Structure 1
Amino acid sequence: MEFFCYHRDRPGSTPLRTQMVEEHWSYMDRFAATMIARGPTFTDDETLTGSVHILDLPDTTAARAFAFEEPGYQAGAYRDVLLRRWRNTLGRTMWDFGDSRPDDTRYLVLGFCEPTTDDIDLPDGEELIACGPLLSDDGAVVVGAAVLLAAASADDAHRALSPARFTTIEVHQWDFGGRPA
């Protein structure tokens, strides 16, 4: 089962996150083989705002353990965690993304909608890195979408999801994460 996990930083937690980076990476190393995408979100001035992980885990219990046993979460670096079942509509990982738009910035776009059992329209295009619906624990109800993409601006990234379909749309700068090579 695929899961989307977004740890949102507590304001002022960047020093703590920086101090704990090796513990975070060591923890994530245990899940490297299951990762679809990962990486930090941040502001224009590069202040950390969160940490995205999309991964394939056996079940909801394993996903909750992943999210809440993360060292930064345990230390209080995050104000909350968004954890949802997810479906990889592109069928690839961020490492499969051929960056045909190297001058663009990468973004996480989250859209939240009224719960529905209907499929929702998701974007397509070469700028997409990962894309899929956010689902209920049983996978039967769509509650939103998570899209990772390359775009020229935050406004362009925002247009990946239709405001007519999603009641709330968030756009966060994002970059590929993981231990430096």
Structure 2
Amino acid sequence: MEYFVYGRDRPGTFGLKVDLSEDHWAFMDGYAEVLVARGPTLTHHGDEAEPTGSLHIVDLPDAEAARAFAHEEPYHRAGVFESVRLYRFRNVLGRTMWDFTGAVDGYGRFLVLAMGGPGPAPAASEHLIVYGELLSLDGETRLGRAALVEAPDRETAAALLPAGDDGRTEVHPWRFGGRPAQGR
């Protein structure tokens, strides 16, 4: 079963996050074979961007293992995160971020969250990296949808994943994560 884990950084924790980067990567090394996607959300795209959160989609045996993953992660343990979202994830595309072969010059990457009602499915696009439904931990209640997309700007990214019934959509600049110059 796949789980979506998104920790939002507390303001003023950038230095702590930098200090803990090696611990974070070492922790993730233990999950390398079961990661579907990973990476930081950012203030904006570019070299001067600072992280605003940390996203992981991971294939684990059950909700208890997902809770342990989320709460034992070094950033969480050190108090970097203001909040952590944890959902079951139904991977509609059935692939990982490493399966994505598109890369358009001038395009950024984004995490798009459309919470609430079912909403329309995203239009078929070569710019969808990972897409799926966000479910309660027991898998019985649909809570929203999430997509990692490649797009020229936030508005285009948001348009790839139309809002649900309540119109709540978040768009966060995002990039592939992991150790520098390393795969998973």
Query: Which residue in 1 is equivalent to 2:58?
Result: 55
Say whether the 8 Å CA contact 2:122–2:162 is kept in structure 1. no
Q: Aligned pair in 2 of structure 1 residues 92, 166: CA closer, same or farther (>3 Å)?
A: farther
Q: Percent of aligned pairs with the same residue? A: 47
Q: Once the 2 structures are TM-superposed, how far is the Cα of residue 99 of structure 1 from its aligned partner?
A: 1.9
What displacement does 1:27 show? Answer: 0.3
* Code of the aligned partner of 1:74: R
Contact kept? 2:115, 2:163, Cα under 8 Å: no
Rounded Cα–Cα distance in structure 1 between residues aligned with 2:121 and 2:166 = 11
2:85 aligned residue: 82
User: Contact 1:90–1:130 at 8 Å: present in 2 too?
Assistant: yes
* Matching residue of 1:104: 107
Is structure 2 residue 14 aligned with structure 1 residue 14? Answer: yes
Deviation for aligned residue 1:141 = 1.5
Name stretches of at least 5 consecutive residues in structure 1 with no aligned partner.
none
Report matched runs for 1:123-162 at 5 Å.
Answer: 123-162=123-162
- Are the aligned partners of 1:122 and 1:132 in contact in 2 as well (CA < 8 Å)? no
Give the Cα–Cα distance (whole angstroms) in 1 for the partners of residues 33 and 123 of structure 2: 27
What 5-or-longer segments of structure 2 have no aligned partner? Answer: none
Q: Structure 2 length normalisation: TM-score?
A: 0.92
Distance (Å, rounded) in 1 between the aligned partners of 2:164 and 2:6: 24
Q: Distance in 2 between matches of 1:4 and 1:28?
A: 14
With normalisation by structure 1, the TM-score equals: 0.93
Per-residue deviation at 1:166?
Answer: 4.7
- Report if the CA contact (8 A) 1:38-1:54 is conserved: yes
Deviation at 1:164, TM superposition (A): 5.5
Corresponding residue of 1:163: 163
* Cα RMSD after superposing both structures: 1.5
**Whole-angstrom distance in 1 between the partners of 2:71 and 2:41:** 19
Distance 1:81 1:174 in 2: 17
Contact 2:39 2:177 in 1 (8 A): yes
CA contact (8 A) 1:100 1:126 kept: no
Q: Is the 8 A contact 1:111 1:166 kept in 2?
A: no
Partners of 2:137 and 2:163 in 1: how far apart? Answer: 25
What is the alpha-carbon distance in structure 1 between the residues aligned to residue 163 and residue 98 of structure 2? Answer: 29
